Amino acid sequence: MAIIIDGNELSRRQREITAKEALEFTEKAGRPPGLAVVLVGEDPASAIYVKNKKKACETAGIRSFEYRLDSGTSREELLGLVHRLNADDLVDGILVKLPLPAHLDSQEVLLAIDPGKDVDGFHPYNMGRLLTGEPTLVPCTPAGIMCMLREHGVSLRGKDAVVVGRSNIVGKPMAILLMMEHATVTICHSRTVGLEAKVAAADVVVAAIGRAEMIRGDWIKPGAVVIDVGMNRTASGLKGDVQFEEAARRASLITPVPGGVGPMTITMLLDNTLRAARIHAG
């Protein structure tokens, strides 16, 4: 039976450290680190996401600035706000909630964010730094997963890791981070042929496909480490991308949904905001 990674407990410990360091920053800089969160439209899931981030900021001693724009906001209005936030000395981090409404080009908006304030790590500059082995602001979900693996003493050197999902937010940066720790990485996705065999050969599986329980428990190699990024609302409740019960019988270490990767993502956002504040304050 696997050890279940407690993302809530790990987050609590990590956020205590961040809160202490945020306080030190505030004393030195004469102001707290600041995070601006921009939400366009009324998607309820996004609204919850933004609310949770705001609460987490307050607890960590990070000032949050919230911008709720209506779904008809124009490209010019949104870019104008991003430029104002880039120039605002009280703002160290800028997060524009994705996905944006269809009439807005998210790549254009991400490109407009000052890379030094890009706490999501989605700007091509930060992506490029990661790809060339000099990460600065790293996307929060993969960073949180690396933190979990480190805390549980998982050695990645020479291990076979399979990442299922190729998004810019999780799959691609995850693969790079695992490779930097000397894992041999395979990226699988919706068109992969023979997914089961690839997962079955993996020492580490990161599932980020967004389809409830698509990775069957009996695919998992005995003793493997299983990280589940999925958050799928189904008729029987919130489900991950991995069929948990059966996978937990085979894995050595596994993350639950909820209470696994999710809280660590927010924790890394706070961490990135503090990092950006330090860069910003020189």
Residues that bind ligand GUN (CB under 6 A): 95-98, 120, 140, 169
CB of 89 to ligand GUN, least distance (A): 22
Closest CA to 206 of 27, 1, 38, 5: 5
Q: Which is nearer to ligand GUN, 36 or 149 (CB)?
A: 36
Q: Which is nearer to ligand GUN, 136 or 252 (CB)?
A: 136
CB of 96 to ligand GUN, least distance (A): 6
3-state class (DSSP) for residue 166: coil
Q: Which is nearer to ligand GUN, 98 or 281 (CB)?
A: 98
Closest CA to 106 of 75, 85, 136, 65: 75
Q: Which is nearer to ligand GUN, 96 or 277 (CB)?
A: 96
Question: Which residue has tokens 């042929």?
Answer: 193
Closest CA to 220 of 198, 195, 251, 192: 251
Q: Which is nearer to ligand GUN, 97 or 239 (CB)?
A: 97
CB of 79 to ligand GUN, least distance (A): 16
Give kind and range of the element (H or E) at residue 57: helix 44-60
CB of 145 to ligand GUN, least distance (A): 13
Which residues in 226-264 are b (16+ Cβ under 10 Å) and which e? Answer: bbbbbbbeeeeeebbbbbbeebbebbbbbbbbeebbbbb
Torsion of CA 71, 50, 260, 229, to 10 degrees: 20
CB of 140 to ligand GUN, least distance (A): 5
Beta-strand relationship, 232-234 and 237-239: antiparallel
